[in-house]
């Protein structure tokens, strides 16, 4: 509880830095105007734009680090839900069975044991389900409107984890086609092994199976949340591949695209977990904020790792983004320190010499450090959302919340 109080006090004094998405909906200043790209999603345009990195910037992080060293046992979020994860893995393999043999082997490709990836999203969603296991403040909707008895709530929430993982894998399949990738999860990418056409069709097939499962939940609010996520994935990908030179040099544009491509899926799925539980709008917003900030922190670190790989030195990563002409946070921060880098970014990275020049500037700048700091900020906002949930004395609820907070640290300290 002390932990909770400290974080609440900090939240009131925490002004934030220039590039982060704020926590409370009502406090947001709308930076982006409504655009035809999205008529329903307002949250992503609500970047707070206050100046200056606050002195308290890393205090919350240190408090979390400190308090976790005080706790009796180190909590592994993945172990906490290991049995359920393996159940979900089996369900996914059943759900992607197709009649036509080629489609069947394409669709099951990334659900086979050993190539299931980090299973980060289902882990978050299962932990969130337990973390929100609170007395339900209002009567759940009747069954015909997607309501539930408490006995099957968990299996409905598991279905969200399955749907989310299917949408995620579908987007990876399509992404690899667009990027002409040859590897994924340490094996040949599906497009490389079976060709672009089958990879696209397998992605479509996974999406259609995800839709069938979504419909089985009979909850229109949840259906529209996840339909919006698919729109966001496509929007984010299109934003990335159709940038003007100004957009490529804009941090706002990068953060908006990052929300669409990476954070929307986990944030809206977390919200769906709360909605299925019949939780209040306030709790649903906190679940959403956790997912959004965790997703943004995750992608910011991904963008750092693209330059550094597992080591801390520049150029040790795959450099895949920059070689594909994709400008990410480390370069954008470096550009603030070295405005002459902008000319190189505008010229593009088809010439490998430009990649080297950009890496030189990045090495001289605080671009990597500032990106990590921004990731920490979002990780802390995610942890604050968990700390702001209604209090619970239930040991399982508390353990899952602690694991969700632990995940925020795992995300910012990961090296792969
Ligand atoms: C078909 C839904 C659909 C979308 C098409 C191609 C596209 C539009 C969107 C691309 C979305 C995309 C691939 C975003 C990147 C998200 C991301 C951070 C992927 C890596 O996630 P990890 O590291 O992967 O969790 P693993 O392999 O561990 O599951």
Write down the pTM of the prediction: 0.83
Give nearest CA residue, ligand 1 atom 24.
117
Which residue has the CA at smallest separation from atom 8 of ligand 1? 234
Across 30-44, 88-102, 293-307, 362-376, least confident range? 30-44
- pLDDT category at 20 given cuts 50, 70, 90 is very low
Using an 8 Å Cβ cutoff, are 343 and 366 in contact? no
Q: How far is CA 365 from the centre of its chain?
A: 27
Q: How far lies 92's CA from each of 87, 88, 119, 156, 349, in Å?
A: 9, 6, 12, 14, 40
pLDDT at 325 over 50: yes
For residue 177, the ligand 1 atom closest to its alpha carbon is 6
Rounded distance between C-alpha atoms, residue 205 and residue 103, angstroms: 8
Q: Do 416 and 305 form a contact (C-beta atoms < 8 A)?
A: yes
Q: Residues near 311 by Cβ (< 8 Å), separated by ≥ 6?
A: none
For residue 13, the model assigns a pLDDT of: 29
- Closest atom of ligand 1 relative to the 204 alpha carbon: 1
How many angstroms does the Cα of residue 124 sit away from the middle of ligand 1? 16
Higher pLDDT, 227 or 30: 227
From ligand 1's centre to the CA of 171, what distance in Å?
Answer: 5
Average pLDDT, the chain: 83
Return the best residue to mutate from 168, 209, 263 for the ligand 1 pocket (most ligand atoms within 8 A of CB). 168
> Can you give the pLDDT at residue 71?
47
Region 340-363: what's the mean pLDDT?
Answer: 94
Q: What is the pLDDT of residue 135?
A: 79
Residue of 292 and 2 predicted with greater confidence: 292
What percent of the chain clears pLDDT 70, i.e. is strictly above it? 78
pLDDT band for 316, please (50, 70, 90 cuts): confident
Instruction: Give the pLDDT confidence of 252-290 residue by residue, as tens digits.
Output: 999 999 999 999 999 999 999 999 999 999 999 999 999
User: Which ligand 1 atom sits nearest the alpha carbon of residue 172?
Assistant: 13
Residue 137 CA to residue 275 CA, distance in Å, equals 12
- Confidence category of residue 312, pLDDT binned at 50, 70, 90: confident
- Predicted local distance difference test score (pLDDT) of residue 9: 32
Which pLDDT band holds residue 3 (cuts at 50, 70, 90)?
A: very low
**How far is CA 214 from each of CA 126, 150, 163, 327, rounded to the nearest angstrom?**
17, 19, 7, 35
For every residue of 24-64, DSSP letters joined together read -GGG----S--BTTBSS--GGG-EE---S--GGGGHHHHHH
Q: Is the pLDDT of residue 47 over 60?
A: no
Pairwise CA distance, residues 329 & 41, whole Å: 23
Nearest ligand 1 atom, CA 178: 6
**180: β partners:** none
Strand-pair category, 47-48 with 187-188 = unpaired
Question: What are 393's two structure tokens?
Answer: 């004395």
Q: What values do phi and psi take at 38, rounded to 5?
A: -155, 115
| pLDDT at res. 63 | 33
Cα 233 to middle of ligand 1, angstroms: 8
* Ranges 47-56, 116-125, 143-152, 342-351: which has the least confidence: 47-56
State in Å: Cα 206 to ligand 1 middle.
13
Atom of ligand 1 nearest to the CA of 234: 8
Q: Name the nearest CA neighbour of 123 among 87, 69, 151.
A: 87
Residue 382: how many CB atoms within 10 A of its CB? 29
Question: Ligand 1: distance of its center to the CA of 393 in Å?
Answer: 37
């Amino acid at each position: 509880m002390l932990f909770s109080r400290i974080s609440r006090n900090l939240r009131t004094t925490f002004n934030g830095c220039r590039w982060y998405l704020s926590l409370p909906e009502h406090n947001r200043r709308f930076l982006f105007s409504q655009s035809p790209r999205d008529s329903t999603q307002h949250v992503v345009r609500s970047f707070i734009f206050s100046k200056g990195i606050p002195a308290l910037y890393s205090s919350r992080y240190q408090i979390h680090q400190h308090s976790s060293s005080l706790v009796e046992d180190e909590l592994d979020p993945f172990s906490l839900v290991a049995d359920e994860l393996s159940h979900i893995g089996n369900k996914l393999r059943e759900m992607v069975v197709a009649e036509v043999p080629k489609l069947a082997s394409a669709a099951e490709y990334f659900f086979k044991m050993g190539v299931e990836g980090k299973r980060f999203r289902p882990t978050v969603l299962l932990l969130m389900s337990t973390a929100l296991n609170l007395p339900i403040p209002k009567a759940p909707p009747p069954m015909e409107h997607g309501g539930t008895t408490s006995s099957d709530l968990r299996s409905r929430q598991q279905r969200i984890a399955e749907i989310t993982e299917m949408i995620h894998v579908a987007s990876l399949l399509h992404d690899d086609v667009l990027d002409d990738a040859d590897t994924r999860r340490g094996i040949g990418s599906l497009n490389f092994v079976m060709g672009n056409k089958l990879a696209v069709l397998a992605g479509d097939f996974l999406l259609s199976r995800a839709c069938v499962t979504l419909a089985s939940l009979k909850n229109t609010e949840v259906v529209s949340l996840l339909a919006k996520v698919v729109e966001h994935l496509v929007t984010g990908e299109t934003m990335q591949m159709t940038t003007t030179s100004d957009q490529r040099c804009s941090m706002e544009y990068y953060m908006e695209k990052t929300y669409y491509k990476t954070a929307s899926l986990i944030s809206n799925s977390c919200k769906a977990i709360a909605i299925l539980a019949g939780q209040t709008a306030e709790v649903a917003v906190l679940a959403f904020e956790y997912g959004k900030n965790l997703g943004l922190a995750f992608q910011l670190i991904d963008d750092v790792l693209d330059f550094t790989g597992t080591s801390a030195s520049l150029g040790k990563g795959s450099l895949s983004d920059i070689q594909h002409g994709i400008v990410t946070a480390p370069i954008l921060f470096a550009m603030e320190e070295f405005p002459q880098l902008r000319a190189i970014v505008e010229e593009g990275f088809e010439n490998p010499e430009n990649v080297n020049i950009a890496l030189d500037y990045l090495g001289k700048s605080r671009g990597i450090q500032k990106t990590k700091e921004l990731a920490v900020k979002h990780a802390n906002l995610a942890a604050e959302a968990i700390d702001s949930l209604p209090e619970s004395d239930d040991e399982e609820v508390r353990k899952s919340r602690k694991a969700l907070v632990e995940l925020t640290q795992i995300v910012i300290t990961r090296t792969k």
